[in-house]
Structure formats: structure tokens, C-alpha cells
Amino acid sequence: MDARIVVLPGDGIGPEVTAEALRVLEAVARKGGHAFHFSEQLMGGCSIDRHGTALTAEALAACKASRAVLLGAVGGPKWDDPTAKVRPEQGLLALRKGLGVFANLRPVTVHPALIDSSPLKADRLQGVDILVIRELTGGLYFGQPKGRDVRDGHERAVDTLEYFDFEVRRVVELAFRLAQGRRRKVTSVDKANVLESSRLWRQVASAIGQAHPGVALDHMLVDTASMRLVVAPASFDVVVTENMFGDILTDEASVLAGSMGMLPSASLGDGGPGLYEPIHGSAPDIAGQGVANPVGTILSAAMMLRHSLGLPAEAGAVEAAVHRAIADGCRTKDLGGSLQTSRMTDEILRRL
């Protein structure tokens, strides 16, 4: 198989972790006789420094013309001024919107050997295997109007939580499809006791639930869900929710896995290129030291093999190699170990 892959290393530890994931993809290509053509583009703070914008039209066009995009992380203290007109995160939002990747898959599993790395009690973590699907191109992040004005002599700021029925339908339908290959349970998270957009969300989700009698559907309010995620995380299978609810709940869920550095994500649209990135940020405090955990990005590359490159066996092999390396005690600093970023990858490659 032949595929063009755009790499957006980004800022902070982004370039360090994407470099490791590329080593793994190259090993997969060598073994299977595949040709992956990688090309790099700037996105985030590095693009602001060079071009004055977080994502240029050329970089977006290159991503659109690819089979898949691998992203490291964006942002850092240098670009953190909240009054700045140009921000690294704008690049990420423009990329998600531009690629039309409306579903963000964030699987959360707890490796048995890492149970003690989590601040939660060990017995709560047995059997945790959650797939959070966060709506990614609508909701509070993109609703219009948004902005500032002055009203009655006071400065006012507005964000809008807006959903169309079709935006809810396509992401909830994906949740049901993916639940069919899992434990057949979907929890749709909303705030239907307060928000109109959530009442539409619930109505659409219920209709889809009725069309899928083989999958159990639960509705849960987002405040309850945030509590259940730490009290009974093993009770969740597939969780599907609004953009910002999903942003917040996945940071919370990442604590279950012992380190944010472990967790991958895939953002998928309707057949176009997929976007793959670890869920951690640019970690400016450890950037440039070669100590970042590459696992989240390597597992994101595995998701790319599965969802964009049609290579599910190879994806499984990468995941198994990561699993064995962790089981054998290989640990980067975030997990209390001392392996450098590239040594951790060496250990994974040896087991691939």
C-alpha cells in the first residue's frame, strides 16, 4: 500500500514524539512492503513565528490532499498571551474544521501494570475500557455568534452552543457502529435538564437508539458522568458527547490510565483524511530534554494504521508491542521510570 502522510510536529515536545511514531510507522512499512510518503508542515506556534498565522492555506491544503495527518502538539508560554489575536490553538481548530473531522475517538484503557500509577484506588480500575467519542467540529467551540461587544455600558463576551440535528446524528451513529464491535453499550452525555442543544442531542440520540435494538443506550447528564467516571469507570463502554463536554471529560478520564502520555486519539470525518494526535499537550516544561513519553503518539499512529490506512493487523501488532513493553517494566519519566523518549521506542520496536 502507498499513502501520503502529512506530519505536523508542532511545538514543545511535539517534534520529539512525532519523530518516534515515524520510526514505528517506518518499521511497519519495511516489514509489510508498504510505501508511506511523509511530508512535514508547520502548525501552531512554530507557524505563527514563521508565517504570522497558526495554519497556512498551503499547510491545510497539503493535509487535505493526504491520506492521514499525524500531529504532535501545539502551544507554549511564548504564545500564551490571552489578548493576542493569533494563537496556536486556532491552527488546531481550523485544521479540524478544514478536514471535517467531526468525531474525535479517545480510547481510555488501563494497563494492568500501570494501575498503581493512577491516583485512583486499584479496585476501581479493573477492566476499564472506555471509548470516548467527542463531537469535534460543532458545539460551543464553533457556534455563532461569538465575540465581544459593549452592552449597557458593560463589556460583554459571547460564545454560542449550537447544534444541527445532522451534526448530532452523524457522530452518534458512529458511536453505535463502534459499540457493535465492543460491549454494545452507548452512554450519550448531555445537559438536557438545562440546555436546548442538549435536548435536541438527546432526541436525536434516542431515535438512533431505537433503530439499534442490539445496543443499549443510556442518557447521562454531564455532571453525573464526571462523577461516575471516577467512581465507576469500568461501567462505561462507548461515551458520546458534545465538543466541550468531551474535552473536559477526556482530561478527567486520562487520569485513569496513569499518565496523559499514554493516550492516543483519532479524529475522523466522512471518508477524508483522518487526524491522529496524542491527547497530551506540548509540555513546555520538559521540551527538548528527550524524556517525553512517546506512547500516546505511537498508539495514535496505530489508530492511523487501523482507521485511515486499512491495516488493522499492523495496528494490532503495534498496540501489542506497546502493551508488552509496559508489561516488561519499560517506563518513561512520567511513569516513574528513567527511559529516554527514543529508548522507550527502541523497546517497543524490539517487540514489534
- Kindly list the residues in this chain that would bind ligand IPM in the complex (CB under 6 A): 89, 92, 247
The DSSP bridge partners found for residue 135 are: 103
Residue nearer to ligand IPM on the CB measure, 54 or 192: 54
Residue labelled with grid coordinates 530534554: 289
| Contact partner, 92, from Mg ion, ligand IPM, none, Cβ < 5-8 Å per class | ligand IPM
Please list, in sequence order, all residues whose beta carbon lies within 8 angstroms of the beta carbon of residue 30, skipping any fewer than 6 positions away.
none
Catalytic residue, candidates 141, 163, 276, 334:
141
Catalytic residue, candidates 163, 190, 191, 237:
191
Active site includes 191? yes
Residue nearer to Mg ion on the CB measure, 92 or 302: 92
CA 154 to chain centre: 38
Catalytic residue, candidates 49, 116, 149, 223:
223
Residue 135 binding Mg ion, by CB under 5 A = no
CB of 95 to ligand IPM, least distance (A): 11
Side by side, the strands of the sheet bearing 68-73 are: 35-40, 2-10, 68-73, 274-276, 266-268, 103-109, 129-135, 238-241, 185-190, 216-221
Residue nearer to Mg ion on the CB measure, 80 or 116: 80
Residue nearer to ligand IPM on the CB measure, 118 or 300: 300
Active site includes 2? no
CB of 311 to Mg ion, least distance (A): 28
Distance CA 291, CA 320 (A): 22
Residue 277 binding Mg ion, by CB under 5 A = no
Give the CB-nearest residue to Mg ion. Answer: 247
Residue labelled with grid coordinates 494526535: 277
Active site includes 141? yes
CB of 185 to Mg ion, least distance (A): 24
**Helix or strand or coil: residue 316?**
helix
Give the CB-nearest residue to ligand IPM. Answer: 89
CB of 125 to ligand IPM, least distance (A): 22
Interface size with Mg ion, residues (CB under 5 A):
1
Cβ atoms 96, 267 nearer than 8 A: yes
Active site includes 123? no
Which range binds Mg ion by CB under 5 A, 121-129, 243-251, 284-292, 305-313?
243-251
Cβ atoms 44, 12 nearer than 8 A: no
Residue nearer to ligand IPM on the CB measure, 36 or 79: 79
Cell of 139: 458545539
Mode of pairing for the β-strands spanning 68-73 and 2-10: parallel
| Contact partner, 167, from Mg ion, ligand IPM, none, Cβ < 5-8 Å per class | none
User: From residue 94 to residue 113, what is the string marking binding to Mg ion with x (rule CB under 5 A)?
Assistant: --------------------
Would you tell me how many other CB atoms lie within 10 Å of the CB of residue 25?
25
Residue 242 binding Mg ion, by CB under 5 A = no
Catalytic residue, candidates 190, 247, 276, 334:
247
Mode of pairing for the β-strands spanning 2-10 and 238-241: unpaired
Catalytic residue, candidates 129, 159, 251, 346:
251
Q: What are phi and psi of 37, to 5 degrees?
A: -100, 110
Distance CA 325, CA 7 (A): 25
Distance CA 298, CA 21 (A): 5
Residue nearer to ligand IPM on the CB measure, 47 or 345: 47
Cell of 106: 479517545
**Helix or strand or coil: residue 185?**
strand
The binder of Mg ion chosen from 16, 20, 237, 247 (CB under 5 A): 247
Residue labelled with grid coordinates 438545562: 194
The residues carrying an active-site annotation are: 141, 191, 223, 247, 251
Residues that bind Mg ion in the complex, under the rule CB under 5 A: 247
